[in-house]
């Protein structure tokens, strides 16, 4: 397995984490609050904008954020309107549009990187705006996939407007929801009409991560539903499948998270190492990182997962 301290991958400097940083969002009804994590040293730092899953918060996903920030990335985590910290009432008139507002949140972060930098004085002049990636988990993966080019089909099966962002060079999509229509359970079809993606225009280079035991109540298909983005998009060239992994992928929500159903430090370590390697190669920090990760995982006798590429 690739060691994140091996040659080609920098060792971890101390990191800083600042919250809340408040960004302007005049048409949102709430200001957009984000958490910013970054290494204390280094320049020309690439950016990851991370979209949390349903009901999560900017305090979540520390096992991933800590590793990414510790290895040279600025990680910005917006609090979407469905976050437990916002506590939006179900009857709020914005509720049906949250899926779209989520995507706008990610774009807004990219639009306001100057404000992010100004709010965290230690970051002054250190962000590389030409090296931007998006990432997300579950609903957050669907939100992030929109910036990579995925669209939402309407009731007639027509793709909606593109929300792709040319500033995004790569995406990491963890437990990305699959196709809609007959693939959804009645509950999902009734309550989540936006969960009807079209991946044909998802052209940004993307890594899809899925658990082969992720049995979702949203689909009648089973765990392979979460691989649709890999199978159906031209940009998702790589798929990491976590063997025995459920929706929390071993515990990426947070250290000792009570929401983890398949706790496995080894599984989390694989997600950390693989996503870091993919991102470092995708934003041109280290061309060897992802090929080495693929080779190392293929050579393990009893691996925690496998990588497929196309």
pLDDT in tens, 76-104: 999 999 999 998 998 999 999 999 999 99
Complete edge-to-edge strand list for the sheet that includes strand 168-174 = 15-23, 32-39, 74-78, 45-51, 127-137, 168-174, 206-211, 236-242, 305-309
Cα–Cα distance measured from residue 138 to residue 191, given in angstroms and rounded to the nearest whole number:
16
| pLDDT at position 5 over 70 | no
Cα–Cα distance measured from residue 160 to residue 132, given in angstroms and rounded to the nearest whole number:
24
Q: Structure tokens of 186? A: 């009645």
Evaluate whether 194 touches 203 at the Cβ level (below 8 Å).
no
- The helix/strand/coil state of 299 is coil
- The helix/strand/coil state of 177 is coil
- Average pLDDT of the chain, as a whole number: 94
Record: fold of 15-309: Rossmann fold (3.40.50)
Report pLDDT for 134. Answer: 98
pLDDT in tens, 53-65: 999 999 999 999 9
pLDDT in tens, 161-216: 999 999 999 999 999 999 999 999 999 999 999 999 999 999 999 999 999 999 99
Q: What is the mean pLDDT of residues 39-44?
A: 95
Cα–Cα distance measured from residue 254 to residue 281, given in angstroms and rounded to the nearest whole number:
25
What is the DSSP pairing of strand 127-137 with strand 45-51?
A: parallel
Q: Structure tokens of 37? A: 């994590």
Q: What is the mean pLDDT of residues 63-72?
A: 97
Packing angle between helix 265-282 and helix 62-70, nearest 10 degrees? 40
Q: Structure tokens of 233? A: 């998009």
Cα–Cα distance measured from residue 32 to residue 136, given in angstroms and rounded to the nearest whole number:
17
Sign of the four-CA dihedral 271, 105, 73, 203: positive
Q: Structure tokens of 165? A: 């962002």
Report pLDDT for 258. Answer: 85
| pLDDT at position 233 over 50 | yes
Q: Which of 11-15, 200-204, 261-265, 273-277 has the lowest mean pLDDT?
A: 11-15
CA 223 to chain centre: 18
Q: What is the mean pLDDT of residues 39-48?
A: 96
Contact partners, residue 217, CB within 8 Å, separation at least 6? 185, 187, 188
Cα–Cα distance measured from residue 261 to residue 217, given in angstroms and rounded to the nearest whole number:
15
Evaluate whether 141 touches 176 at the Cβ level (below 8 Å).
yes
Report pLDDT for 304. Answer: 94
Contact partners, residue 161, CB within 8 Å, separation at least 6? 151
Half-sphere exposure of 203 (CA within 13 A, CB side): 7
Q: How do the domains of the chain map onto residue ranges?
A: 15-309
Evaluate whether 112 touches 23 at the Cβ level (below 8 Å).
yes
Report pLDDT for 13. Answer: 73
Q: Structure tokens of 71? A: 């290895």
Local confidence band at 259 (pLDDT 50, 70, 90 cut-offs): confident
Q: What is the mean pLDDT of residues 268-290?
A: 98
């Amino acid at each position: 397995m690739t060691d994140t301290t091996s040659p080609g991958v920098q060792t971890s400097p101390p990191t800083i984490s600042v919250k809340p940083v408040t960004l302007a969002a005049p048409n949102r009804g709430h200001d957009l609050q984000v958490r910013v994590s970054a290494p204390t040293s280094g320049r020309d730092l690439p950016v990851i904008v991370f979209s949390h899953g349903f009901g999560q918060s900017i305090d979540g996903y520390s096992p991933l954020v800590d590793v990414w920030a510790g290895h040279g990335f600025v990680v910005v985590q917006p609090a979407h309107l469905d976050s437990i910290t916002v506590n939006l009432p179900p009857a709020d008139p914005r509720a049906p549009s949250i899926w779209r507002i989520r995507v706008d949140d990610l774009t807004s972060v990219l639009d306001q990187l100057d404000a992010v930098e100004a709010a965290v004085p230690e970051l002054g002049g250190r962000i590389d705006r030409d090296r931007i990636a998006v990432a997300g988990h579950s609903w957050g993966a669907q939100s992030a996939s929109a910036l990579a080019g995925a669209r939402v089909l309407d009731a007639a099966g027509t793709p909606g407007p593109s929300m792709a962002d040319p500033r995004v060079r790569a995406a990491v999509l963890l437990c990305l929801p699959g196709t809609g229509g007959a693939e959804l359970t009645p509950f999902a079809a009734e309550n989540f009409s936006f969960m009807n993606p079209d991946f044909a225009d998802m052209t940004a280079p993307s890594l899809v991560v899925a658990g082969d035991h992720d049995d979702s109540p949203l689909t009648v298909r089973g765990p392979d539903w979460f691989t649709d983005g890999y199978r159906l998009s031209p940009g998702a060239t790589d798929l990491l499948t976590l063997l025995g992994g459920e929706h929390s992928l071993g515990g990426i929500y947070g250290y000792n998270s009570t929401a983890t159903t398949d706790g496995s430090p080894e599984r989390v370590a694989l997600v950390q190492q693989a996503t870091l390697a993919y991102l470092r190669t995708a934003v041109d920090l280290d061309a060897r990182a992802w090929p080495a990760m693929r080779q190392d995982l293929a050579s393990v006798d009893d691996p925690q997962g496998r990588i497929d590429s196309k």
